[in-house]
Amino acid sequence: MKDIRVENTDDLLSEVGRLRGEGARLITITGVDLGESIEVIYHFDLEGVINVRAVFDHGDRLPSVSEVFFYARLYERELAEMFDVEIEGIHRGLLLSEDMRGKGPLRKRFKVENVTLVSKEDKYCPR
């Protein structure tokens, strides 16, 4: 496993662009909530797996790599809704239903116990 740590947005985009030039394939984008900040890991396949890591604050606007890798849009949409972060030019929402928008279920602060489930009957046939 090869690990590349980048400090800022420009470094990230140039690193991703360089890997694209070498013929790498983006496997996926993983987000990990570190409490104060969020670590974003871009996994690439280039004769083995290469990880590019960047750490952002929760309020930051994350850059999008979908200019370089067309299909990154799917993973970024998922990342944005699961961690409740802003990503440049990407609209949130891929998997979750509308009543879960803005909650960021993979954040540390999110507790499953606090979710109130809305039954389909109440949602579609209100009394």
Partner 1 sequence: MPTIVPFGPQHPILVEPIRYLLALEEETVVGVEYEIGYLHKGLEKAMENDYIKDIYFAERVCGICSMVHSTTFVNAVEKLAGIEVPERVKFIRTILLELERLHSHMLWLGIVADSIGFQNLFMLCWRDRELIMDILESLTGNRIHFSMNTVGGLRKDISEKGIRFMLGNLDRFALSVRKIENSLYNDLTVLKRLRGVAYLTREDCKRYGVVGPNARASGYSNDSRMDGYEAYEMIDFSPILKAGGDNLDRVVIRMDEVLQSIGLIRECVRLLPDGEIGEKYKRGVEGETFFRCEAPRGELFYYVRGNGSKKLERVKIRTPTLANLAMMEKVMIGLEFANVPATALFFDPCMSCQDR
According to the binding rule CB under 8 A, does residue 74 interact with partner 1?
A: yes
Interacting residue with partner 1 among 9, 67, 94, 103 (CB under 8 A): 94
Q: What is the DSSP letter of 112?
A: G
Q: How far is the CB of 121 from partner 1 (least distance, A)?
A: 19
According to the binding rule CB under 8 A, does residue 105 interact with partner 1?
A: yes
Cα dihedral 104, 110, 116, 117 sign:
positive
Q: How far is the CB of 105 from partner 1 (least distance, A)?
A: 6
Cα dihedral 90, 96, 97, 103 sign:
negative
- The Cβ of residue 15 has, within 10 Å, a number of other Cβ atoms equal to 19
Q: Tell me how far apart the alpha carbons of residues 124 and 94 are, in angstroms, rounded to a whole number.
A: 22
Interacting residue with partner 1 among 10, 49, 89, 101 (CB under 8 A): 49
Name 117's Cβ contacts closer than 8 Å, sequence gap at least 6.
Answer: none
Q: Which is nearer to partner 1, 51 or 64 (CB)?
A: 51
According to the binding rule CB under 8 A, does residue 71 interact with partner 1?
A: yes
Q: Tell me how far apart the alpha carbons of residues 113 and 115 are, in angstroms, rounded to a whole number.
A: 6
Q: Where does this chain bind partner 1 (CB under 8 A)? A: 1, 23, 25-28, 30, 32-33, 41, 43, 49, 51, 69-71, 73-75, 82, 94-97, 105-106, 110, 112
